[in-house]
Amino acid sequence: MGMLGSQKMDYQDSALSAPSGAPADPALAMETGQRYRNPTEVQMSQLVLPSHTNHRGELSIGQLLKWIDTAACLSAERHAGCPCVTASVDDIYFEHTIRQIQIMPPWQQHGKNDVCVGQVVNIKAKVNRAFNSSMEVGIQVSHEDLSTGKQWNVCKAYATFVAQGKATSKMKLKPLAPQTEEEKMEYGIAAERRRMRVAHTETLKNLLTNSTIQTERENGECSTVVPAEKTRVESVELVLPPHANHQGNTFGGQIMAWMENVATIAASRLCHAHPTLKTIEMFHFRGPSQVGDRLLLKAIVNNAFKNSMEVGVCVEAYQQEMEVNRRHINSAFMTFVVLDQEGQPITLPVVKPEAGDGERRYREASARKKIRLDRKYIISCEQTKVPLSVPWDQSNKVYLSYNNVFALKTLVAKTNWVLATETDKVRMYMLEEDKYLSFRIEMTLCIDALQAFSLLSDLRQRHEWDHYYADPYVIAFRSVTLPTCPPNPDYTRGETMCSGFCIWQETTELTKVSYYNQAAPGYLTYVTTNIAGLSSDFYVTFKACERFLQKNKEDIAVGLQNL
């Protein structure tokens, strides 16, 4: 069963200026011997000081979030040329962060790789894509041991910023012109990430409607039951000038840091031990707050699973004289674990939610956990480690689609393809890498790219609702397993690792259609016999595809006009 992800993308020219002295054109950079630098790129290096750490000597996540938000905002403003605000920050996974950025007293440091005060956190932010008034900024955080020169990746984050150009109307950002293969890839999949953000609420709703979520932990797992009420935290903060950005709005990073603080207190109240933050689920900044506002932060443990708990935090803003008119400005969900001496997660007490909202949040936390795990499993694994078939269900289809497009765009971006064979203008290329062999078949047809896309994907409705894209188009497939597909002893189903079509409009009449495939072991022989010229199956199949497109293009053209 092929799982499909598809998209349309456009690259448009725009005049961008590079940061001082660095060429914004890779070709020019090569000529002058200088390093190419993305014109929106912002680099920030921070020396870790004792004031940046928590009581255990670890770099505080709140501090890291403030740095991330500042670097990302500067990058967004570099592109927009006007003030920008944080609209959201996607999920951040902290697997490699916390313990690596431990600040140890000197007498404990011998023989350890842990980082101590005086080491450096490097943050690199650049705009991946501008949409209308919003843009996606990609942020990479690494950490550097100054004594050895060693660097580690800490985490990757994606934030959306909205340009606040004119007070009266919505700003229209200039499009971004990606230059390098990596930039083009990020540009393409930024659209898929935007789709995931938009789909999240709907996915959660569907999951709660369509599935029975287990509300009781297995008996005997843990005898301690803690009423959720015992973990409740309420805290107020006064927004002062140092908490605000250059427009007088509270820094997104500052709000995130305050939220992390109350969430940590709620988590500690459940387990009476130091909790470790594992994941932050998307922060959504619903509305601004300013200097002089009071922010009321409320947190509670929504659910505790065997080894992890979800803490929810909500933030309301009000002015001194108008406490009754509180504005809900932010909500976020954070997952904590509690580690023992060996660094293993301990079994957590069972949480007893309050009736009403508490019980609803308890069930929603379970649904969010499933979405988080699906998403993490499908997206965060290295591409080569993802198993061939991924179980499909309604709630993970959007992540599978993202993953398909990401895998295909990675394959398309490779530069070491070599022409293996050519028959009657049907060209076959191959790519040998580690233990993988991929191939690509290409032909140029007298057809409109939109007709080809519609015929090959049969997603004719998509154009109507998906107005962010222009050409080229991508149709990406990957195997999924569906429980409704019982195994049949007479039929062996081949699996697809990564495959799909890319369709480029070359002139007004000609379109280039390329089929990519990362060969799975099951049909490797089939591929190699074609590459070696012992069979011409691919040519025959592609010619049949050409006839199919030519035969149906007029019908689809009529259909498209009627859309």
Nearest to 88 by CA among 246, 194, 164: 194
Toward ligand COA, which CB reaches closer, 80 or 430?
A: 80
Site map for ligand COA, 280-309, x if CB under 6 A? ----xxxxx---------------------
Toward ligand COA, which CB reaches closer, 75 or 303?
A: 75
Q: Which one of 116, 271, 300, 304 is in contact with ligand ADP (CB under 6 A)?
A: 300
Both tokens of residue 463?
């154009």
Whole-angstrom distance, CA of residue 159 vs CA of residue 87: 8
Whole-angstrom distance, CA of residue 69 vs CA of residue 159: 8
Distances (CA, A) of 381 to 93, 205, 403, 457: 12, 26, 10, 27
Both tokens of residue 400?
């599978």
- Lookup result for tokens 């008034």: 133
Toward ligand COA, which CB reaches closer, 22 or 171?
A: 171
Toward ligand COA, which CB reaches closer, 245 or 403?
A: 245
What are the residues whose beta carbons fall under 8 Å from the beta carbon of 532, sequence distance 6 or more? none
Toward ligand COA, which CB reaches closer, 329 or 556?
A: 329
Whole-angstrom distance, CA of residue 296 vs CA of residue 314: 8
CB-based contact 312:333 (threshold 8 Å) = yes
Beta-sheet strands, E only, within 186-247: 225-227, 233-238
Site residues (CB under 6 A) for ligand ADP, limited to 342-361: 357, 361
Toward ligand COA, which CB reaches closer, 276 or 279?
A: 279
Whole-angstrom distance, CA of residue 85 vs CA of residue 76: 9
Question: CB 252 → ligand ADP: shortest distance, Å?
Answer: 17
Number of residues that bind ligand ADP (CB under 6 A): 11
Specify the pairing of strand 327-337 against strand 350-352. unpaired
Measured at the CA of 249, the angle between CA 244 and CA 255, to 5 degrees, comes to 70
Both tokens of residue 3?
């799982």
Both tokens of residue 525?
């022989």
Whole-angstrom distance, CA of residue 471 vs CA of residue 182: 18
Residue type, 421: T
The answer to whether residue 133 forms part of the interface with ligand COA (CB under 6 A) is yes
Question: CB 312 → ligand ADP: shortest distance, Å?
Answer: 2
Select from 24-32, 141-149, 308-316, 481-489 the region that touches ligand ADP (CB under 6 A). 308-316
Q: Is residue 194 within a helix (H) or strand (E), and if so which, with residue range?
A: helix 181-210
The answer to whether residue 264 forms part of the interface with ligand COA (CB under 6 A) is no
Q: Which one of 5, 23, 252, 500 is in contact with ligand COA (CB under 6 A)?
A: 252
Both tokens of residue 95?
């697997």
Select from 123-131, 219-227, 292-300, 345-353 the region that touches ligand ADP (CB under 6 A). 292-300
The answer to whether residue 313 forms part of the interface with ligand ADP (CB under 6 A) is yes
The answer to whether residue 326 forms part of the interface with ligand ADP (CB under 6 A) is no
The answer to whether residue 57 forms part of the interface with ligand COA (CB under 6 A) is no
Question: CB 483 → ligand COA: shortest distance, Å?
Answer: 33
What are the residues whose beta carbons fall under 8 Å from the beta carbon of 544, sequence distance 6 or more? none
Please choose which of ligand COA, ligand ADP, none residue 331 contacts, taking the beta carbon within 5 to 8 angstroms, the exact cut-off set by kind: ligand ADP
Whole-angstrom distance, CA of residue 191 vs CA of residue 131: 9
Select from 11-19, 50-58, 252-260, 299-307 the region that touches ligand ADP (CB under 6 A). 299-307
Q: Which one of 40, 119, 245, 331 is in contact with ligand ADP (CB under 6 A)?
A: 331
The answer to whether residue 369 forms part of the interface with ligand ADP (CB under 6 A) is no
Please choose which of ligand COA, ligand ADP, none residue 366 contacts, taking the beta carbon within 5 to 8 angstroms, the exact cut-off set by kind: none
Site map for ligand COA, 155-174, x if CB under 6 A? -----x-x-------x----
Q: Which one of 298, 306, 376, 553 is in contact with ligand ADP (CB under 6 A)?
A: 298
The answer to whether residue 134 forms part of the interface with ligand COA (CB under 6 A) is yes
The answer to whether residue 460 forms part of the interface with ligand ADP (CB under 6 A) is no
Site residues (CB under 6 A) for ligand ADP, limited to 208-227: none
Site residues (CB under 6 A) for ligand ADP, limited to 71-100: none
Q: Which one of 5, 39, 188, 312 is in contact with ligand ADP (CB under 6 A)?
A: 312
Whole-angstrom distance, CA of residue 378 vs CA of residue 365: 20
DSSP 485-522: S--BTTBPPP--SEEEEEEEE-SSSEEEEEEEEE--GG
The residues of the shown chain that bind ligand COA, judged by CB under 6 A, are 85-88, 131-134, 160, 162, 170, 197, 245, 249-252, 284-288
Which residues are at the interface with ligand ADP (CB under 6 A)? 232, 298-300, 302, 312-314, 331, 357, 361
